[in-house]
Amino acid sequence: MNQKDERTWGLLVHLGGIIGMAILPTVGNIIGVLVLWLIKRNESKFVDNQGKEAINFQITLSLAAVAINLVNNIITGFWSLTNFWRHTRGDFYNVWGWTSLIGVIWLLNVIFSIIAAVKANNGESYKYPISLRLVK
């Protein structure tokens, strides 16, 4: 694979997370990156490296989203059992509470994936600052 193709596939692997998350929240970002990475990982060390970085970042974001949703559901379920909470909390909790954290995850995905895509397009390896290193 020539250098231009490596950079293009590196860019696509990083953008696969944004595209996947837009199509299928929570796991689409993983699927998008995984498919692109698996297609070209054996043809280029650069694409393999950037694919691992991207998949680790997307797994980290998905785990955070699942944890936020789980905590939100537990708290909402617990507090909805009491009449006091049901009458005082309204929709403020759901709109501005835990749900807004999912927006932060989406925003982090967009920001860091675009930074990584630009770096990959320039031929530079990128390491995400917040990422569990699960795929080595």
Question: Model confidence over 84-104: pLDDT tens digits?
Answer: 555 555 544 554 566 678 888
Question: Of 15, 55, 47, nearest to 125 (Cα)?
Answer: 47
Identify the pLDDT of residue 59.
94
Spell out the domain ranges in the chain: 3-121
Question: Model confidence over 39-67: pLDDT tens digits?
Answer: 999 999 999 999 999 999 999 999 998 88
Q: Which whole-number Å values give the CA distances from 85 to 32, 72, 88, 95, in the listed order?
A: 40, 15, 5, 16
pTM over 0.85: no
Which residues are CB-neighbours of 12 under 8 A, at least 6 positions away?
36
